[in-house]
Amino acid sequence: MNPSNNKNEEEDEVEELEEELIDPNDLIIINDPKNWEPKQEQIYAYAEQLGIDVDSDPKELLEIACKYLKIDLPSDWKRSFRKDNNQLLYIDFNTNEIHLSTDIEEKAKDEVLKFREEYKNKVEKENKKKEIQKFNKINQRFNIELKNKNKTEKKPTDVPNKCLPPLIPNVKNLKNIILINKNNNKF
């Protein structure tokens, strides 16, 4: 397993750890990863290493952290946790080097970013759907109120046709009107 894609980063990591002089007695080494269940503090510490805010981020991100905590390593690698702060470290027993990260973290971080993007899109879609539903309810109430208002108000069209004069006189009446107007010279 290649602990880091960039040799300079790897060397900086090793130098950083060498400067700290980590005592092996300060580490909890996971010897049997198949039967190991991470503790909540270990999951939270690893989640924070992945950039997950355990208080405000969706809990599904903790599941991603847990999944990557349990992912298989090459047989000559072991996970270990610092007793004082639960920081996850990797020990390469071939070289006897301790590493802060491996390419597993990059995959985990990529999955966290992908989940966040999908989650954001899902929330936005749900919010849009709620806004549309809210608008439709308001529109429906308005239409019901308008319909009820129209039922209670009398309109000129509600008056029976018998009361209204014909808008277009019949032809006989039209001739009489024209003749009357011609004779009386009133128009």
pLDDT tens digits for range 105-139: 899 999 999 999 999 999 899 888 888 888 888 88
How many domains are there within the chain? 1
Residue 137 maps to a domain: no
Residue 128 maps to a domain: no
**3-state SS string for 46-58:** HHHHCCCCCCCCC
| The dihedral formed by the CA atoms of 11, 7, 3 and 107, expressed in degrees to the nearest 10 | 130
Residue 11 maps to a domain: yes
Query: How many other CB atoms are there within 10 angstroms of residue 98's CB atom?
Result: 20
The most confident of 4-13, 22-31, 51-60, by mean pLDDT: 51-60
Residue 2 maps to a domain: no
Query: Which residue do the tokens 């970013």 mark?
Result: 113
With beta carbons less than 8 A apart as the criterion, state whether 106 and 60 touch: no
Instruction: Give the closest residue to 49 by CA, choosing from 79, 14, 11.
Output: 79
Q: Determine the residue type at 117.
A: E
Residue 104 maps to a domain: yes
Percentage of the chain exceeding pLDDT 90 = 22
Residue 175 maps to a domain: no
Residue 108 maps to a domain: yes
pLDDT band at 18; cut points 50, 70, 90: very low
For the chain, the average pLDDT equals: 77
| The dihedral formed by the CA atoms of 25, 30, 31 and 34, expressed in degrees to the nearest 10 | 170
Structural domain boundaries enclosing 72: 7-120
With beta carbons less than 8 A apart as the criterion, state whether 99 and 7 touch: no
Residue 31 maps to a domain: yes
Residue of 84 and 157 predicted with greater confidence: 84
**pLDDT > 80? residue 177:** no
